[in-house]
Structure formats: C-alpha cells, structure tokens
Amino acid sequence: MPDHPSERPSLAALAARIVSDPAICGGRPVVRGTRMRVVDILDLLSAGATRAEILDDFDYLSDEDISAALVFAADAVNDGTVKAA
C-alpha cells in the first residue's frame, strides 16, 4: 500500500477491482471476479493475518486487490458511509 494518500490507487483503478452486484454476495462490495468481500479481507487483516498469508491462502487475490479493499474501506469511512456505534 502506498505510504502517502496521494499515491493511493485512482478511483478508476479501484472501480476495476472492487465491485458491487446485487446477484453476488447480496450486493456487498467484492473483489471483481470473486466472491471475496471487502469485509472478509478486513476481517482477516484485523485478526492478524499478513498480506502474504492472505495471498497464500487465497491464490486468486493479488496484493493490489488487498490494497483496493483497504482504500475502498477508508473511503467508505471518510465519506460517512460507515458510522461508529
């Protein structure tokens, strides 16, 4: 993941990796071409899994997919889509 926000993937790059389709996982955001939800990636990372472990366990994911999931989540929180309890 880039060290500085200005180095984050563009929205176009993000849109190419993270998609929502009502027919897939109830419309929750997923990595394109998979059923891996953004929340699943966040859960794995918050449980202590490293990127390398995730990539080893889910060989259909790329490091860029993990970065896109993190950027997507950060943007959702920043935009107010997600609110703290």
Question: What are 22-65's pLDDT values in tens digits?
Answer: 999 999 999 999 999 999 999 999 999 999 999 999 999 999 99
Tokens of 45: 């990372």
Q: What backbone torsions phi and psi does residue 58 show, to the nearest 5 degrees?
A: -125, 80
Instruction: Let me know if residue 68 belongs to a domain.
Output: yes
Radius of gyration of the chain (CA): 13
Q: DSSP letter at 78?
A: H
| Pair 72, 38: CB distance under 8 Å | yes
Instruction: Tally the domains of the chain.
Output: 1
Host domain of residue 40: 5-77
Is residue 83 in some structural domain?
A: no
Q: Would you say residue 27 lies in a domain?
A: yes
pLDDT for the residue 12 = 73
With 90 as the cut, is the pLDDT of residue 14 above it? no
Q: Which residue has the tokens 């880039």?
A: 2
Q: What is the CATH number of the domain that holds 55?
A: 1.10.10.10
The confidence score (pLDDT) of residue 9 equals 66
